[in-house]
Amino acid sequence: MIHLVKSTFYKEKETKQSLIDFISGASTLSMGKECAKFEKAFAKKQGRKYAVLVSSGSMANLILVQAMMNLGMFKKGDRIGVSALTWATNIMPLLQLGLVPVILDVSRTTLNVTPEEVEKKLGKLKGLFITNVLGLSDDISKIEKLCKKHRVTLIEDNCESLGSRTGGKLLGNFGIASTFSFFVGHHLSTIEGGMVTTDDDILHEMLVLVRAHGWDRNLHPDRQKKLRRKHGHDEFHAKYIFHDLAYNARPTEVTGFLGNTQLPHWNEIVKKRQSNFKRFASAIEKNKDLVPLEYGHMDTVSNMAMPVLAVSRAQAEIYKKKFAPHVEIRPVIAGNMLNQPFYKKYVSDLRRYDNAEFIHQNGFYFANNPELTNEEVSLIVSLLSS
């Protein structure tokens, strides 16, 4: 049986051993040098000025939206576009913080929000928190341009697409900030963990503040001094001054250490996932029962899981049954967000979105683990054949 989670880490055995050694030798296990080192290395690899490490991808989304609200970039009541096909905690921070999510339907062939769909809703939006679904995007360069032209602030939930590229640019580098997840089964695993990246100095500073209680302790010393002087806080009280609305979303040194252990495997992991993806996608293309994916515009598809869409619900049932004894499957992410109880409870706009519903009814996914053996990949390819 090929499970959704094949291992906790890439190179599991040696990673676990080095984790044991690290913990036994470490004097500090709360956020410290390892976290800072991982942030620096991750920002460099992603090609961003800053990276802020947090306890999960969901917290990355929450602190990003909170930081933008603290800075006045979004205000209560603003309408923010989101993908109909995403994870719940992409939309939840908007509801929690008094913003209004506006659902955008996705394409059946890229699974992502299209520029045409963005264009339809642009007039209503203050921001767009787009999800790059399962290593893919639609024409995100065009979406970025549309957003700039219409002064819509673009941010990306890149929790599912680390390492994917289009137009020579890594996904996660199109908006002013983007989020990542390091949960088990994602591209890089730190067990739990997440990151926010940005090039914006002011947003970075606010993210650091929002990650830890709203205090200034983790800011650059010069900035810290300026803030303390501005507000007239003496050194004795300064450490216990809370500047703005915040959480405790801090990672531990274990997260940082694991990030530093997994990061050097980035290229290898992406390469293997891309190569598996191509074999799966080409089997799907040859099978008339299945809907082919559109990915010619992508330079690299680094997907942690492979979506399969059947042409009809009846066909989907046939393929689900075919996979079940051999390969663990699940809905595509969590299906159409409009079907979720939390969404029905808190959002009044319950219009149907055809493509997300099609994916909900006719789709499933299986894991694209970089350590799948050749035999396992071949087995999956045979299941994807008619």
Ligand X SMILES: Cc1ncc(COP(=O)(O)O)c(C=O)c1O
Residue ranges with strand state E in the chain: 50-54, 79-83, 100-104, 127-131, 153-157, 165-166, 169-170, 177-181, 194-198, 298-300, 305-309, 363-367
Q: Is beta strand 50-54 parallel, antiparallel or unpaired with respect to 194-198?
A: antiparallel
In the complex, minimum distance from the CB of residue 286 to ligand X, in angstroms, rounded to a whole number: 29
In the complex, minimum distance from the CB of residue 134 to ligand X, in angstroms, rounded to a whole number: 9
Number of residues located near ligand X, criterion CB under 6 A = 16
Binding-residue pattern over the window 111 to 150 for ligand X, x denoting contact by CB under 6 A? --------------------x-------------------
In the complex, minimum distance from the CB of residue 94 to ligand X, in angstroms, rounded to a whole number: 13
Nearer to ligand X, 90 or 369 (CB): 90
Give the CA dihedral 156, 140, 339, 180, nearest 10 degrees: -30
| Site for ligand X, residues 342 to 381, rule: CB under 6 A | none
284: phi then psi, degrees, rounded to nearest 5:
-65, -45
In the complex, minimum distance from the CB of residue 301 to ligand X, in angstroms, rounded to a whole number: 16
- Name the one range near ligand X by CB under 6 A: 81-89, 100-108, 167-175, 367-375: 81-89
List CB contacts of 135: < 8 A, sequence separation 6 or more: 160, 161, 163, 164, 273, 277, 301, 302, 303, 304
Residue 160 makes contact with ligand X by CB under 6 A? yes
Q: Which of 181, 260, 302, 362 binds ligand X (CB under 6 A)?
A: 181
Nearer to ligand X, 87 or 364 (CB): 87
C-alpha–C-alpha distance, residues 251 and 249, integer Å:
7
Q: Which of 2, 9, 43, 57 binds ligand X (CB under 6 A)?
A: 57
Q: Which residues pair with 54 in a beta bridge?
A: 194
Residue 168 to residues 140, 171, 300, Cα–Cα distance (Å): 12, 10, 9
| Site for ligand X, residues 189 to 208, rule: CB under 6 A | 194
In the complex, minimum distance from the CB of residue 256 to ligand X, in angstroms, rounded to a whole number: 16
Residue 56 makes contact with ligand X by CB under 6 A? yes
Q: Which of 10, 22, 38, 87 binds ligand X (CB under 6 A)?
A: 87
Side chain identity, residue 10:
Y
C-alpha–C-alpha distance, residues 143 and 154, integer Å:
9
Nearer to ligand X, 133 or 291 (CB): 133
Nearest-CA neighbor of 291 among 353, 361, 338? 361
* Contact by Cβ (8 Å): 276, 377: yes
In the complex, minimum distance from the CB of residue 241 to ligand X, in angstroms, rounded to a whole number: 30
Nearer to ligand X, 58 or 110 (CB): 58
Residue 157 makes contact with ligand X by CB under 6 A? yes
Nearest-CA neighbor of 97 among 67, 139, 140? 67
Query: Token match 């549309």: residue?
Result: 146
Residue 216 to residues 35, 206, 238, Cα–Cα distance (Å): 17, 9, 8
Residue 86 makes contact with ligand X by CB under 6 A? yes
Question: Measured at CB, which residue is nearest to ligand X?
Answer: 57
Q: Which of 31, 159, 219, 308 binds ligand X (CB under 6 A)?
A: 159
Q: Can you give the binding site for ligand X, defined by CB under 6 A?
A: 56-58, 61, 86-87, 89-90, 131, 157, 159-160, 181, 183, 194, 333
